[in-house]
Amino acid sequence: MTDFRGGLPSGGGGEVPGQGELSARGARIADGAAGLLDKGFDKYLDDPFDADQNPQGILNFGTSENKLCFDLLQERLSKPDMNYLEPHLLQYSDTQGIKSFREEIAKFLTEYANASVPLDPEHIIVMNGCCAVFATLSTVLCDPGDGYLIPTPYYGGINSKTWLYGGMQPVHVPLFSEVADKGSQSFQLTVEKLEAAYQGAREKGIRVRALILINPHNPLGGIYPAQLLTECLEFAHRYELHIIMDEIYMLSVYGDTTFTSILSLKSLPDPDRTHFMWGFSKDFGMCGIRVGILYTRNHYIRKAVNQLVVFHGCSGPVQHVLQQILKDRDWLDNVFFPISKKRLKEAQNILVDGLAEIGIPVLKSSGGLYVWADFRKFLKTQTFEAEIDLWMKILDEKLLISPGKAFCCYEPGWFRVVFSDSVDKIILCIQRLQQLLCDKMDEPVSLCSCPEQNKCTESDDNVSANVMNTPVDDVSEGYSQLKKIAVF
């Protein structure tokens, strides 16, 4: 069995050869051990699945990428308006982003986020991905050691993005699967939980500077109701906290739940401390393009971030291509978004049905590219050590998914499984899980009734890549009609 325990963060130790060449800051950065998902992804890169060349390789269902719309993008990117090159695209441009591109982003977000007022292009900063947005915001908002509130579980990559530059630390707001009463649901956020976490941090001497919310949520796939968003904004205003709203899955919504962007709220308690981020990676299936945007009305924050953006800029030709895509509303409204949402919903149904057949329930979700799946009954003990053991066994079965520990979940046994891939791969993913969980493992133990006893204290990052081609909308009958595909 693959063993990754050596990759967990160490407690320090003596100076390693060559470390003396680094500054204290450089040593701190270099000493950050690779996360669990980095190790798993490295193993995937050594043996990636390919239907023709390597059918026994590792399937990647751990990286959140939308691989369902490459055919649509390929066709659109082949149009004549993309074949354009003028001298100014190869010259230095405004580090904040080419003005015409920012203007098109403003129009796009005003319409698609149903903004209460038109967005001002001068309040937009274009960067090479949302990771850069987190890194620069954390640097200008916080001093080293300051904290940010964030409900758990959450995308663990935020930890490194806010720590490497800014030296921020997460202040967890733990959410659990247990339903407290009829009016509540699993992993439900409340202002009372925010309040408890904030006061706990203050008692430990941590200065909390911000609240980070992800909507639609990663990894839960839920959508915050408008009322809860308003309550969170009022809570942040009460304690003069900045709100960082990550809406990178804003248009990857496929259920019946209504999505409310923070841009659509008619009145913000503290506009100068409310910051919005979005990018092209998820909603447009363009992770490799590396373009994210920050929208903030705060002049001083824009001024500070703009000093750092010189390290995080986007090339002129890329900005031109994306500007042309955003301008083509006919294609967006009648081709790309309707087909993308249809394929996402169909792919989710196939994965959820397949997981159900092998006894794995999932949390109900309406957004994102993944499901939050309950593997707890397959753990030998209800501990994070048992969760990592199961994760490694699944990886040895040539399947990469994401353990809950990587999302700072406080209950062991939850995994994020991505579904935005071809039917062929989804079915093969289910078959490999079934081979391990139903055919090879001993009888699992019963669930523990006290999830609070198994708190997660470490986090991990996530990376990217993969291939294969049967479109979801070619086969939409569900998992039960498809499971006869051969196991590789």
Domain C-terminal end among 272, 298, 332? 332
* pLDDT tens-place string over residues 351-386: 999 999 999 999 999 999 999 999 999 999 999 999
> Rounded to whole angstroms, how far apart are CA atoms 379 and 425?
25
**Shared-domain flag, residues 64 and 189:** no
**Shared-domain flag, residues 323 and 344:** no
The answer to whether residue 15 scores a pLDDT higher than 70 is no
* Token pair listed for 343: 């394929």
Residue 463: per-residue pLDDT: 27
Residue 183: per-residue pLDDT: 77
Q: Does 167 map to a domain?
A: yes
Residue 442: per-residue pLDDT: 58
In this structure, what are the phi and psi dihedrals at residue 99, rounded to the nearest 5 degrees? -55, -45
**Shared-domain flag, residues 148 and 51:** no
H or E element at residue 354: helix 337-357
**Shared-domain flag, residues 144 and 190:** yes
Beta bridge partners of 213: 245
Residue 407: per-residue pLDDT: 95
**Which whole-number Å values give the CA distances from 389 to 36, 269, 377, 404, 473, in the listed order?**
12, 46, 14, 12, 36
Residue 378: per-residue pLDDT: 97
**Which whole-number Å values give the CA distances from 311 to 126, 139, 140, 321, 328, in the listed order?**
12, 13, 14, 21, 30
**Shared-domain flag, residues 207 and 218:** yes
Residue 469: per-residue pLDDT: 36
Instruction: Assign 284 to helix, strand or coil.
Output: coil
Q: Does 451 map to a domain?
A: no
Q: 470 near 399, Cβ under 8 Å?
A: no
Surface-to-core class of residue 485, CB atoms within 10 Å of its CB (0-12 exposed, 13-18 middle, 19+ buried): middle
**Shared-domain flag, residues 252 and 106:** yes
**Shared-domain flag, residues 353 and 276:** no
pLDDT band (50, 70, 90) for residue 472: very low
pLDDT above 90: percentage of residues in the chain: 75
Q: Does 267 map to a domain?
A: yes
Which long-range contacts link 401-404 to residues 24+ away (Cβ below 8 Å)? Answer: 401/61, 401/62, 402/37, 402/62, 402/219, 402/462, 403/36, 404/153, 404/456
**Shared-domain flag, residues 382 and 310:** no
Domain C-terminal end among 290, 311, 332? 332
Residue 200: per-residue pLDDT: 98
* pLDDT tens-place string over residues 396-423: 999 999 999 999 999 999 999 999 999 9
- Which residue has 């699967």 as its token pair? 177
The answer to whether residue 152 scores a pLDDT higher than 60 is yes
Q: What is the mean pLDDT of residues 84-107?
A: 94
DSSP 209-221: EEEEEESS-TTT-
Residue 52: per-residue pLDDT: 95
Q: Does 45 map to a domain?
A: yes
* pLDDT tens-place string over residues 60-88: 999 999 999 999 999 999 999 998 888 98
Threshold 0.95, pTM exceeds: no
Other CB atoms within 10 Å distance of the CB of residue 414: 25
> Rounded to whole angstroms, how far apart are CA atoms 226 and 261?
8
* Token pair listed for 186: 């699993």
Other CB atoms within 10 Å distance of the CB of residue 271: 11
Runs of H (alpha helix) within 35-98: 36-46, 70-77
Higher pLDDT pick, 345 / 41: 345
> Rounded to whole angstroms, how far apart are CA atoms 107 and 113?
10
Domain that holds residue 115: 86-332
User: Which residues have a Cβ under 8 Å from the Cβ of 357 and sit 6 or more positions away?
Assistant: 430, 434, 479, 480, 483
- CATH code of the domain containing 360: 3.90.1150.10
Q: Does 51 map to a domain?
A: yes
Q: What is the mean pLDDT of residues 115-137?
A: 97
> Rounded to whole angstroms, how far apart are CA atoms 275 and 210?
10
Find the Cα–Cα–Cα–Cα dihedral 432, 436, 439, 440, rounded to 10°. 150
* pLDDT tens-place string over residues 291-307: 999 999 999 999 999 99
User: Pairing state of beta strands 402-403 and 414-418?
Assistant: antiparallel
Total domains, the chain: 2
> Rounded to whole angstroms, how far apart are CA atoms 403 and 398?
15
For residue 219, whether the previous peptide bond is cis, meaning omega lies within 30 degrees of 0, is: yes
Lowest average pLDDT, out of 12-21, 78-87, 192-201, 347-356, goes to: 12-21
Runs of H (alpha helix) within 142-219: 157-163, 191-203
Measured in residues, the chain has a length of 488
**Shared-domain flag, residues 118 and 165:** yes
User: Pairing state of beta strands 169-174 and 124-127?
Assistant: unpaired
- Which residue has 């891939």 as its token pair? 421
